Structure 1
Amino acid sequence: MTPQLPQLAGGLFLTDGGLETTLIFHDRIDLPLFAAFVLLKDEVGRATLRRYYRRYLEIAATEGLGFVLEAPTWRASPDWAGRLGMTPGELELYNRDAIRLLQELKAEWEGRLPRIVVSGCVGPRGDGYDPGEVMTADEARAYHGPQIATYAAAGADMIGAITMTNLPEAIGVVRAARDAGLPVAISFTVETDGRLPTGQTLRGAIETVDAATGDAPAYYMVNCAHPTHFAGVLDARASWTKRIAGLRANASRRSHQELNDAPDLDDGDPVELGREHAELLRRHGHIRVLGGCCGTDHRHVAALGRACVAVEA
């Protein structure tokens, strides 16, 4: 029996924005392979991460909202670590230290925020835009299991599987989280037509994972897509839509291919993004967790937080 998550008990929660794009384009930090977790290697890097998270925690405190602290570990899995020249033991230390950093922040801020949740972030084995060679669910369970077990041992409250591109990998992550006794949120990335990169519909993806795991995910999310890419496929009357409790949208309306090819950062319009989230919340009151993905930063999260608090009032 996995523990119940406070973000499902009512009230809005914020999370952070596009960590990697913020560090690369705003802070001018070289992140090899988009691996933000490498900043944990020294105090200078850890201080950078603390500053990053504190900016978002301040926004949540101002609005009186809960917060999901998502670990900077989207790339901290074996294949990516191997490409970075890391041993399995070194990778385990990075994943453990990521949770410890978030726990320190939680202790620092829990008197100012109503509720704070520490989430161990799991990213895809392949690219976040392209599923590449798809594993079986059993292979995915074995691949992601050690990382998830490390999060459980370090005291994470949950698992956040971000930018999932295909169903067997999502199913494997859910089963590995269940093995570790942690609740898990599965966040799918979608293309401009609202479908996964594999062509699977969002409805089909959620219903398939639920059927394969006995409705095991605590909830689902959509990330790495602009609201205009997926708002039209959400059916407010459908039970599968009500399983979506979180959004981490891109700032840009560009497709994944356009984003991948662009030399610049398209950060869109934060105020407009806030209005689009508020409209989504009016139609889908089951959405509880709001943050950003590619191109977003504290300005976007502040804007959507203000807009969505007004809807809740």
Structure 2
Amino acid sequence: MAKYRAALPQLTGANFLTDGGMETTLIFHQGVDLPCFASFVLLETEEGREQLRAYHRPYLELARRRGLGFVLDTATWRANPDWGAKLGYDAAGLDRINRLAVAEMLALREEYETPGAPHVVSGAIGPRGDGYKQGRMDRDEAEEYHAAQIASFAAAGADMVAGFTLTGIEEAIGIARAARRLAMPCAISFTLETDGRLLGGETLREAIEAVDAATGGSPAYFMLNCVHPEHLATSFEEGGDWTSRILGLRANASTKSHAELDESETLDEGNPLDLGRRYVGLRKRLPALRILGGCCGTDHRHVTAICEAAVPVTA
């Protein structure tokens, strides 16, 4: 039985942390080979599973020191049918690996969760295609495509699911509908371009309001990931109730565009202290922002800087 599925604690107003750029940390800092940028392949061996545990521990120790809750996202951003097929996984293989990923997060929760600081296990869903390119699925196709992975997460005991690095409104709607059908709380996380818009040119407001309209407001909340705060300068000029739907941010370390990052052979780590200050500024514009972490190029140093800058220390 999932611990928090019926009542997600991050909806109550408390601050939560999450991790940083898993794949970029493993590849560039630890020299791990991740074919197709897929971290789920590490789940196949005890050595790989220990690498994933070791990756998470600095973040979890930070949360413990600060008495903060944590959102534990599974290493399954690529564990869908199209990417799985490239790596030799059929439907049964993906079901197995998605369930194993949840089991690993449940074990870390058992080790690190403390009273008053809940740790939520979230099944991570990536886009069908490339997170830097616009998807072409309609909402019905997306609902059916992503349902199997969500069903695996539900059966394994995850508290919720989250669709990350989504570039198109239709795929986001499909994920949200599939989660609703399977009675799983869902977060939708869009990625934006340097102009603060989706790849199709839609504003963030248009995207959030379209998903809510098409799903009866079923997502528990929205997030942003794989975007630098600098690129959000104009995203919130149109104020309104829609901004209160954004609870989480996992920013990139780099100010480079997605095209530049895609072609880069080195890691742009940016400036952790500057990133932390930018989170402070965004929290002034996004009153509900409370789930704080990182994306490409970030590691525990960045999330520590974000936490120290943006989360007040309480006695």
Structure 1, residues 242-292: CA drift from partner, whole Å, max 9, x if none? 111100000000000111111110000001000100111133221010110
CA distance in 1, matches of 2:69, 2:19: 12
Partner residue, 2:193: 191
| Contact map agreement 1:275 1:307 (CA 8 A) in 2 | yes
* Residue 61 in structure 1 maps to residue 42 in structure 2: no
5+ residue gaps, structure 2, are: none
CA distance in 1, matches of 2:231, 2:313: 22
Report matched runs for 1:144-159 at 5 Å.
144-159=146-161
Q: CA 1:7 to 1:250, structure 2 compared with 1: closer, same or farther past 3 Å? A: same
| Contact map agreement 1:135 1:169 (CA 8 A) in 2 | yes
Residue 146 (structure 1) shift: 0.4
| Contact map agreement 1:231 1:280 (CA 8 A) in 2 | no
Partner residue, 2:249: 247
Report matched runs for 1:69-84 at 5 Å.
69-84=72-87
- Aligned pair partner of 1:4 in 4, 7, 25: 7
Residue 231 (structure 1) shift: 3.6
Residue 112 (structure 1) shift: 6.7
CA distance in 1, matches of 2:205, 2:278: 21
Amino acid of the structure 2 residue aligned with 1:204: E
Residue 15 (structure 1) shift: 0.3
Partner residue, 1:304: 306
- Aligned pair partner of 1:43 in 46, 59, 71: 46
| Contact map agreement 2:205 2:242 (CA 8 A) in 1 | yes
5+ residue gaps, structure 1, are: none
Partner residue, 2:279: 277
Residue 308 (structure 1) shift: 1.1
CA distance in 1, matches of 2:301, 2:58: 10
Partner of 2:248: helix, strand, or coil?
strand
Residue 232 (structure 1) shift: 2.6
* Residue 122 in structure 1 maps to residue 125 in structure 2: yes
Partner residue, 2:18: 15
Residue 3 (structure 1) shift: 2.3
Partner residue, 1:99: 102
| Contact map agreement 1:122 1:161 (CA 8 A) in 2 | yes
Partner of 1:171: helix, strand, or coil?
helix
* Residue 31 in structure 1 maps to residue 34 in structure 2: yes
Question: Which 4+ stretches in 1 moved above 6 angstroms?
Answer: none
Report the aligned-residue RMSD: 1.5
Residue 84 (structure 1) shift: 0.7
Partner of 2:283: helix, strand, or coil?
helix
| Contact map agreement 2:236 2:285 (CA 8 A) in 1 | no
Structure 1, residues 86-128: CA drift from partner, whole Å, max 9, x if none? 1211111100000000000001111376111000000000100
Report matched runs for 1:189-228 at 5 Å.
189-228=191-230
| Contact map agreement 2:64 2:114 (CA 8 A) in 1 | no
Partner of 1:196: helix, strand, or coil?
coil
Structure 1, residues 192-215: CA drift from partner, whole Å, max 9, x if none? 011011211111000000000001
| Contact map agreement 2:13 2:288 (CA 8 A) in 1 | no
Partner residue, 1:258: 260
CA distance in 2, matches of 1:288, 1:226: 17
Partner residue, 2:93: 90
Amino acid of the structure 1 residue aligned with 2:94: L
Partner residue, 1:108: 111
- Aligned identity (percent) is 56
Amino acid of the structure 2 residue aligned with 1:293: C
CA distance in 1, matches of 2:301, 2:79: 27
- Tell me the matched-pair count: 311
CA distance in 1, matches of 2:285, 2:263: 34
CA distance in 1, matches of 2:174, 2:285: 31
CA distance in 1, matches of 2:40, 2:164: 15
Amino acid of the structure 1 residue aligned with 2:86: R
Partner of 1:194: helix, strand, or coil?
coil
| Contact map agreement 1:63 1:309 (CA 8 A) in 2 | no
